[in-house]
């Protein structure tokens, strides 16, 4: 599965905004558990969300406590997660960062963060006249 950085950013923004739990169950899992839910995720969509929540945890950006029934309880965003989020929070900076990464032909999370920081530094210099 391909990493979706827009989804990673979206999840971090949601958690920072107060989201404390993700209930990621496909319709298949809900039926197997005897739960009737409207609007259940497709298996592909549930897999995508589980994959990205796991990536956030493995990368050390968010701490979760998982249940066996598709629940992801948010313990908190780590220092590293806050740093990444602070660097890509602004939609304009995020769009410019993604465009720069696409032009380069590849990226890592650290390079995305560095590129975003470069755009932020430029904005600070342009708005304050202070060179960083």
pTM: 0.79
| Contact call for residues 48 and 7 (beta carbons, < 8 A) | yes
| Per-residue confidence band for 6, with pLDDT thresholds at 50, 70 and 90 | very high
Q: Which strands form 62-66's sheet, in the order they lie side by side? A: 21-23, 71-77, 62-66
Residues 40, 17 share a domain: yes
Per-residue pLDDT tens digits for 103-131: 877 777 777 888 888 878 888 887 888 87
DSSP annotation of 78: -
Is residue 38 situated within a structural domain? yes
Residues 107, 51 share a domain: no
Residues 107, 67 share a domain: no
- The burial of 53, by beta-carbon neighbours within 10 Å (0-12 exposed, 13-18 middle, 19 or more buried), is given as buried
* Structural domain span for residue 16: 5-77
Residues 65, 28 share a domain: yes
Tally of residues, the chain: 132
Residues 54, 95 share a domain: no
Per-residue pLDDT tens digits for 40-77: 778 898 899 999 999 999 999 999 999 877 789 999 99
Q: What is the total count of domains within the chain?
A: 2
Residues 53, 26 share a domain: yes
Is residue 101 situated within a structural domain? yes
For residues 114 and 117, what is the distance between their CA atoms, to the nearest angstrom? 5
């Amino acid at each position: 599965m391909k990493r979706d950085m827009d989804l990673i950013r979206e999840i971090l923004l949601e958690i920072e905004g107060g989201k404390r739990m993700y209930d990621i169950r496909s319709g298949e899992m809900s039926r197997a558990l005897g739960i009737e839910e409207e609007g259940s995720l497709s298996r592909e969509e549930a897999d995508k969300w589980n994959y990205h929540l796991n990536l956030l945890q493995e990368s050390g950006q968010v701490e979760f406590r998982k249940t066996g029934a598709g629940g992801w309880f948010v313990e908190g965003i780590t220092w590293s997660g806050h740093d990444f989020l602070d660097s890509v929070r602004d939609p304009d900076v995020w769009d410019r960062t993604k465009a720069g990464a696409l032009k380069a032909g590849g990226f890592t999370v650290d390079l995305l963060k560095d590129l975003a920081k470069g755009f932020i530094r430029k904005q600070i210099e342009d708005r304050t006249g202070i060179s960083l």
